[in-house]
Amino acid sequence: MPNALDQLREELVIANRILTHEGIVDAFGHVSARHPTDPGRFLISRHRAPELVEPGDLLEFTLDYKPVTPTAFRLYSEGIIHGAIYAARPDVHAVCHHHSPAVLPFCISGTELVPVYHLGAAMGPKVPFWDQQDEFGDTTLLVVKPEEGRSLARALGNNWTVLMRRHGATVAGASIRELVFRTVYGCANAEMQWKAQMQGHVSQLTSGEATMSGSHSTRPGPMERAWDFWERRLRRAGGYPADARPKTARAKDSARRKSNKTVKRSSKRS
């Protein structure tokens, strides 16, 4: 019987691969989750493309991005982004940093990203803009120092998505599935907004619509529906677990999954 930590590792691996398969991270970008029982720790992969991450690659870190167990593995240079957000936001249990082609134009042009359709509101009603240059001058644009991480976390504030000038975006979620949902539909929103802007007019959601639809779509029902879809797409494309795990693990997983499905069934509409 898998314990909570094993289940979280498995889910975090799938999140890494879904976000690759949906075109949001590539060789770079990373995804993390807070430890399921120790809120002072989080898990993130060693230095690998998210597409290649396997359960054994997920290492534990303290919130100041020190490995709990000494490791010889090369590590991501920007893990402090994750730690700083977990430290500032107790409600956040998963974080993704990416350079998606959907949001980059906004980071470069300085255009404000606003919710333009109901699902897009999942990125949050307000998306702040952070410019590393403001506080730190010329850098590699990577967020590597503790004070850079804290500055970014402050910019994020109580929102769910923050744009980073000429760099990318960082997204937070109350769970791994919520994080993936907010990330994918935030990027979809960016694409739609860009195309509408080209047509000369962007009518954004009213404040009420943004709050209502954002809350509605991040309930368990819609999030499960979306996760099941992304996972099916990923598996069909051979993205998981073919490359990563032995067949026996795969069979067990499939059994577990089926029993989850049965439990999940309810009569609510969503």
Instruction: Give residues 172-201 in contact with its own copies (rule: CB under 8 A).
Output: 188, 191-201
Q: Does 147 bind its own copies (CB under 8 A)?
A: no
Give yes or no for residue 69 binding its own copies (CB under 8 A).
no
Min separation Cβ 115 and its own copies, Å:
8
Is residue 129 part of the contact set for its own copies (CB under 8 A)?
no
DSSP-derived letter for residue 75 is: B
- Minimum CB distance to its own copies, residue 20 (Å): 8
- Residue closer to its own copies by CB (options 208, 246) is 208
Contact between 82 and 32 (Cβ < 8 Å): yes
- By C-beta, is 89 or 190 nearer to its own copies? 190
The residue behind tokens 């026996």 is 248
Q: Using the rule CB under 8 A, which residue among 205, 218, 234, 241 binds its own copies?
A: 205
How many degrees, rounded to 5, is the angle at CA 71 between CA 73 and CA 21? 45
Catalytic residue among 78, 148, 178, 231: 78
Binds its own copies (CB under 8 A): choice among 49, 54, 174, 253: 49
78 is catalytic: yes
Member of 72, 90, 91, 263 binding its own copies (CB under 8 A): 72
Provide, rounded to whole angstroms, the least separation between the CB of residue 148 and its own copies: 13
Quick note: the x/- pattern for its own copies over 243-262, rule CB under 8 A, is x-------------------
Q: Tell me: does residue 55 bind its own copies (CB under 8 A).
A: no
The interface with its own copies within residues 74-113 (CB under 8 A) comprises 74-77, 79, 99, 101, 104-111
Sequence-distant (≥ 6) Cβ neighbours of residue 203 within 8 angstroms: 116, 196
> To the nearest whole angstrom, how small is the minimum distance from the Cβ of residue 36 to its own copies?
25
Name the CA dihedral angle for 196, 226, 18, 109, rounded to a multiple of 10 degrees.
20
Which distant-in-sequence residues (6+ apart) come within 8 Å of 21 by Cβ?
230, 233, 234, 237, 239
**66 CB-near residues (< 8 Å, 6+ apart):** none
Closer residue to its own copies in complex, CB, 258/268: 268
Amino acid letter, 95: V
CB 116 within 8 A of CB 196: yes
For residue 217, what are the contacts with CB-CB under 8 A and spacing of at least 6?
Answer: 118, 119, 121, 122, 181, 185, 223
Catalytic site positions:
78
